[in-house]
Amino acid sequence: MLGVRKFAYCVVCLAVAMFADGGELETAKWQSAIDAANAAGGGAVVIPAGEHPTGMLLLKSNVELRLEKGARLVASGNPADYATSGGAMPRAVVAAVCATNVAVTGDGEIFGNGWAYDYSRGDQPKPMGLCFRKCRKVRLEDFTLRDAASWGINIFQCEDLIARRVKINCHAGVCTDGFDIEGKNIIIEDCDVDSGDDAYCVKSHDVGYAVENVVVRGCTARSHCNAFKIGTATHGVVRNISFVNCRAFASRRVYRDLAPMPEDPLNWKPIEGAPWYLCGPGFGCINVECVDGGLVENIVADDIEMEGFQTPIFVRGGDRHGFNDGHADVSQGRWFTLRNVVISNVRGRADGRTPSTITGAGKCRPCNIVLKDIDLAIPGEGKNDKPYSWPGEDKAGAYPQTNMFDSYHLPSYGLFIDKADGVRMENVKFRLRSGTTDTRPAVCEK
C-alpha cells in the first residue's frame, strides 16, 4: 500500500563522541549531516551509541535518521531551542515539513525531557516528540520515544506513512498523547504506547481534508485517558478507520503530582518509596466521536482485548458549536454525521463503574452502530437503595468523555443507548464481575 522506496543511498555515519561535559548541544552537527545527505540525493544519518543533547532536528527529503542501539537523543529543556521563524515549523525534537521519503529508525531512544517544563504555565511552548506535517512516504521503525513534553508522534495531513514496532512511554505532562493521526493511507502496527493522554487518536481539524484509510493493528495501548479513539477534533471527514487485533491495559505508571491517589482506587497500586503509581484505570477503551460537525463513517474495531479502563465502549455524537482547540482557521463541519460503526470481538473487563454508552445530541445522532461478539465483565456499583432515572441530559456542547454523565444516574450497568438510530447487537454479553451486585439491567435503550 505504501510503496516506500528503500534507502539505496550511501550511509552518512558520523561517529561523533560525546562532549566531555555532556551538556553542549549537538544540534548543529546533526542538522548539518541531515542537510548534507539531502543535498547528496539521500542517505542515512546514523546516531551512534551514547548521549546526544539536541534541540530540534528538521528532517529533509530522502533522509533516514537511524538511532543505533544505545544511542539516546536527549532533548534540550529550553523552549528557545525549538523556536521557528514565525511559527512556520512545528515545535518537536524531530520534525519534517513537506518532505518525501523520510524515516526514523533503529533501536535507540529519543528522550523528550518533558520534566524540564512547567505545566502550570500555559504560555510556555512545549515541544512534541516527533511531528510530520504534510509529508509523503514516511517510515518509523523500532525506536523508543520517552517523556515528550507534549504529544508523542504527531502526524498531520501526511500520506503513505507506516510505523512498526515503535515504543512510546510519555508521562511527563497531561497532554502527552501517543500517536495523533490526521492523514491518508496510514499503517501503525506492532507498536506499544504507554501515555498520560490518548494512546492512538485519529483527528480532523480541516473541513477540506479527508482523513481516511487508517489501520492500527497488532498494537498495545496503556493510557490514563483513552486507548483507541476517533476525536475529539472532528471538523472534517474521517472514514475507513480500523483498530484490529489490539490490546488495552492499565498504564504502567503515572506521576503522583499529576494524578493523586483517588478515594476509590480500584486497581491503583502505589509503589513504596517511588514517585509513581504502578497503574490506574484510563477513561475509555474504544471511543468513536463526532462533535464538531464532521462526517465520521466506516469505522471498525475488531479483536480487542481490554482491562484497566473504566468504560469499554463510548460512541458519541454532539455539537461543540465550532470549538477551536488552538489550530488556526478551524471551522465547524457541515455534516454532523456519525454512521457505520462495527465493534466486534471485544473481551475482557471494565475497571470502573461508568457503563458503555452510545448517545447523540444536538444535530448528530449515531446511526447504524453494530456491536457483535462482545463479552465484558463489569463491576457493579453495589448500591441497592438508589432509584435510577435518566434525566434526559443532552450536553450537546460538552467535551466528550466517558464520565460526562453521572454513571449512577444511568439506568443500566453495561450499555446505555440514547438518541441513536439503528443500533444492532448480536451475541453481546455484559456480565457483573464476581462478587459485585447491581439492581439495574445490563442494557437500556431510551
**Domain presence at residue 187:** no
- Mean pLDDT score, 396-411: 82
Please say if the pLDDT value at position 11 is more than 50: no
Reported residue count of the chain is 446
Of the two residues 336 and 171, the one the predictor is more confident about is 336
pLDDT at 184: 98
- Mean pLDDT score, 279-295: 90
| Judgement on whether residues 15 and 153 belong to the same structural domain of the protein | yes
Please say if the pLDDT value at position 89 is more than 90: no
Lowest mean pLDDT among 185-194, 288-297, 325-334: 325-334
Determine the Cα–Cα distance for residues 182 and 59; give it in Å rounded to an integer: 19
| Judgement on whether residues 105 and 215 belong to the same structural domain of the protein | no
| Judgement on whether residues 169 and 207 belong to the same structural domain of the protein | no
- Mean pLDDT score, 95-122: 91
Please say if the pLDDT value at position 10 is more than 50: no
- How do beta strands 11-13 and 109-111 pair? unpaired
| pLDDT tens, residue by residue, 256-272 | 444 444 454 444 455 45
- Give me 179's grid cell: 500517536
Please say if the pLDDT value at position 296 is more than 90: yes
| pLDDT tens, residue by residue, 46-69 | 999 999 999 999 999 999 999 999
| Judgement on whether residues 215 and 90 belong to the same structural domain of the protein | no
- At residue 123, what is the residue type? D
pLDDT at 88: 65
- Mean pLDDT score, 332-350: 97
Of the two residues 38 and 265, the one the predictor is more confident about is 38
pLDDT at 392: 67
| Judgement on whether residues 147 and 277 belong to the same structural domain of the protein | no
pLDDT at 279: 54
pLDDT above 90 as % of the chain: 67
Contact 392, 338 (CB under 8 A): no
Of the two residues 16 and 367, the one the predictor is more confident about is 367
**Domain presence at residue 184:** no
- 101: nearest Cα among 66, 138, 75, 69: 138
**Domain presence at residue 2:** no
pLDDT above 70 as % of the chain: 83
pLDDT at 21: 33
- Would you give the end-to-end CA distance of the chain in angstroms? 43
Please give the residue range of the domain that contains residue 22: 9-118+126-176
Count of structural domains within the chain? 2
Which residue carries 492499565 as its cell?
A: 250
pLDDT at 4: 33
